[in-house]
Amino acid sequence: MQLTPQLLPNLIQAIADVIENNAEEVTALDQAIGDGDHIINLQRGIQTLIAQSAELSQLDWATAWQKIGMTLMTTVGGASGSLYGTLFMAMSKASRERSLTLSTFAEVYTQGVEAVKQRGKADAGEKTMLDVLIPVADSLRQSSVEAVELPVALTQLTDVALAGMESTRDMLATKGRASFLEERSRGHVDAGAKTAQLMICAIVAVLVERLTTPA
């Protein structure tokens, strides 16, 4: 089954739901070592995307990702808007005039994550959303090399994202407000890593259901 941008309204709604359902937990994480406004900032962008979802569903992937990136850049406050905007805009650029297979998506997503690393001047191990995004990119590339079936490759991402999120608990924060806490930043999961994990798992659930449900 072909995965087309017509899925975007379902994907965006799934993201909105999972963020809303976990808002209290994530806000507590963010208040512990961050500014406490991460969820509010994210939800502002997500609500704008919900309003645009019908339009987005009629675009090709590259154009849809470009529009999503611009929207997040302009509506989500804090570092998250810049970083997620960069992710989608880089994915858009990398995917133009290419058919979307597991192999090409793995490459496209990896280029998006590399752009986030450059924009945030961060890498794995620094207690940020990249501790989820990077392992997910690695898993996609590995699945592509091994020619893993798409539903299986996607399902594996759930465990990878969860492990990446949990890995931030004992890390020392080196970016953002949390870095000022130094050793006191240990023992808390990073809020940005948590929401990245939640959103990736929500996306995976929608895609796997679509791929495995008989037509």
pTM of the model: 0.93
> Does the pLDDT at position 177 exceed 80?
no
> Does the pLDDT at position 51 exceed 60?
yes
CATH numbers and ranges of domains, the chain: 5-212 (1.25.40.340)
156 in Cβ contact with 139 (< 8 Å): yes
Q: Is 3 left (phi over 0), alpha (psi -120 to 50) or beta?
A: beta
Distance CA 157, CA 139 (A): 7
> Does the pLDDT at position 91 exceed 90?
yes
Distance CA 122, CA 79 (A): 12
Identify the three-state secondary structure at position 4.
coil
Confidence at residue 178, expressed as pLDDT on a 0 to 100 scale:
53
| CA angle in degrees (0–180, nearest 5) for 165-170-176 | 75
In which band, very low, low, confident or very high, does the pLDDT at 175 lie, cut at 50, 70 and 90? low
> Does the pLDDT at position 109 exceed 60?
yes
Long-range contacts of 86-94 (CB under 8 A, 24+ apart): 86/112, 86/115, 86/116, 86/119, 87/112, 87/113, 87/115, 87/116, 87/133, 88/112, 89/65, 89/115, 90/114, 90/115, 90/116, 91/65, 92/61, 92/62, 92/63, 92/64, 92/65, 92/66, 93/62, 93/66
| CA angle in degrees (0–180, nearest 5) for 103-201-151 | 45
Average pLDDT over residues 113-137: 95
Of 185, 172, 164, 159, nearest in space to 29 by CA: 185
> Tens digits of per-residue pLDDT, 62-83?
999 999 999 999 999 788 999 9
For the chain, the average pLDDT equals 91
Of 120, 116, 160, nearest in space to 138 by CA: 160
